[in-house]
Structure 1
Amino acid sequence: MTDRKAQLAANLARVEDRIAAACAAAGRPRDEVTLIVVTKTYPASDVRFLAELGVTQVAENRDQEAAQKAADCTEAGLTWHFVGQLQTNKARSVVRYADFVHSVDRSRLVSALSDAAVRTGREVGCLVQVALDAPSGSVGSRGGAAPEDVAELADAVAAADGLRIEGVMTVAPLTGRYAGEPRAAFDRMREIASALRETHPAATMVSAGMSSDLEHAVAAGATHVRVGTAVLGVRPGLR
């Protein structure tokens, strides 16, 4: 085993222990929470190591990097998640490799993704990104629709050809009433997710929690946690 693969294996084991402990503390079965490893800025070789170590779900947030990496790792049989803010003119590229798009936050993007999915003959799972600190009718500074706009956007996804409404995604806000309060933010997300399931029962995904706050997200009912730094290390350029 190479040094890098051994390092990734050790990091994955630590993250797995954290998720398992968080599930136990919340009284949840471990298999209710899926780990998505965010591989942005790291090479395709790392992605292949992760696949060899049993990772099945990976995420990227920039199309240019993600498209090339997905092409380089086709043999790994991974499920790809796109989690970054997405411009409509990148929709056609993203749907070629992404099985899920977590960052749907406006109707124009729904239309662009639908058109691209139909053209490429794919069906893409979509999550409405929620900006907990955004006022109604606006998009948050880090992307995401206001809580009041989630239902309408989810309806648009559900009605669009080539798309499925799978659930909701959020990032703990850095400003506003939830700044520094990830558990409160994720509890609010649980309420939004529950309301969404009343009209879209199959929309069961709750994508929340990252390296620094995954325990809070699991406690609040997250079904998917997006972990990068704790698995791969501090990103190049941030050391």
Structure 2
Amino acid sequence: MTDRKRELAANLARVEERIASACASAGRKREEVTLIVVTKTYPASDVRLLSELGVRQVAENRDQDAAPKATECADLPLSWHFVGQLQTNKVRSVASYADVVQSVDRARLVTSLATAAVRTDRELGCLVQVALDAEAGGRGERGGVAPDGVGELADSVAAAPGLRLDGLMTVAPLAGPYAGRQQAAFERLMEISSRLRTTHPAANMVSAGMSGDLEEAVKAGATHVRVGTAVLGVRPPLG
């Protein structure tokens, strides 16, 4: 085993212990929470090592990095999640490799994603990104739709050809009433999810929590946590 693979294995084991402990504390089964490893800024060689170590879900946030990486790793049994703010001019590329787009936050993006999914004959999973720092009718500092816009946007995803409404995603906000209150933010997301599932029962995925706050997300009820630094180490600067 190479030094890098040994390092990743140790980091994964520590993250696994954290998730398992958080599940136990919350009275949840470990299998209720899926780990998504955020591989942004790291090379395809790391993705390959993660796959060898049993990782099956990976995430990227910039198409210019993700597209070549996904191509290089096309032989691996991976599901790719796109988690960054997505411009419509990147949709066609993202739809060619992503299995789930977690950052759907406006109607125009839904239309573009549906067109691309139909063109490539793929079904694309979509999460509505909820911005808990957004005013009514607005968008968040890091993307996302305000809570009052979730229902309408979710309906448009569910009705769009080639798209599948899987659930909701949020990033703990840096501003607004939930700044520094990750637990409260994730609990609010779960309330919105519960309401969404009354009209879209299959949209039960809740993606929340990262390296620094995965325990709070698990406690609130998240089904997926997105962990990067705790697995891969401190990120190199973006070029």
TM-score range, shorter chain: over 0.9
Distance 2:137 2:196 in 1: 18
Distance 1:175 1:216 in 2: 18
Distance 1:201 1:55 in 2: 28
Runs of 4 or more, structure 1, over 4 Å off, are none
Q: Residue 202 of structure 2 corresponds to which residue in structure 1?
A: 202
Cα shift readout 1:48-89 (whole Å, capped 9, x = no counterpart): 000000000000000011000000001111000000000011
Distance apart, 1:106 and its partner CA: 0.2
Q: Residue 132 of structure 2 corresponds to which residue in structure 1?
A: 132
Distance 1:211 1:13 in 2: 14
Distance 1:145 1:170 in 2: 10
Identity %: 74
SS in 2 for 1:77: coil
Q: Residue 50 of structure 1 corresponds to which residue in structure 2?
A: 50
Unaligned segments of structure 1, at least 5 residues? none
Distance 1:176 1:27 in 2: 30
Does residue 65 in structure 1 map to residue 33 in structure 2? Answer: no
Distance 1:57 1:237 in 2: 23
SS in 2 for 1:102: strand
TM-score, scaled relative to structure 2: 0.99
**Matched ranges for 1:24-173 at <5 A:** 24-173=24-173
Residue type of the partner of 2:12? L
Unaligned segments of structure 2, at least 5 residues? none
SS in 1 for 2:156: helix
Distance apart, 1:8 and its partner CA: 0.1
SS in 1 for 2:134: coil
SS in 2 for 1:84: coil
Is the 2:130–2:145 Cα contact (8 Å) retained in structure 1? yes
Distance apart, 1:23 and its partner CA: 0.2
Aligned length: 238
Cα shift readout 1:19-70 (whole Å, capped 9, x = no counterpart): 0000000000000000000000000000000000000000000001100000
Residue type of the partner of 2:37? V
Distance 2:44 2:224 in 1: 22
TM-score, scaled relative to structure 1: 0.99
Distance 1:48 1:27 in 2: 34
Is the 2:133–2:141 Cα contact (8 Å) retained in structure 1? no
Q: Residue 23 of structure 2 corresponds to which residue in structure 1?
A: 23
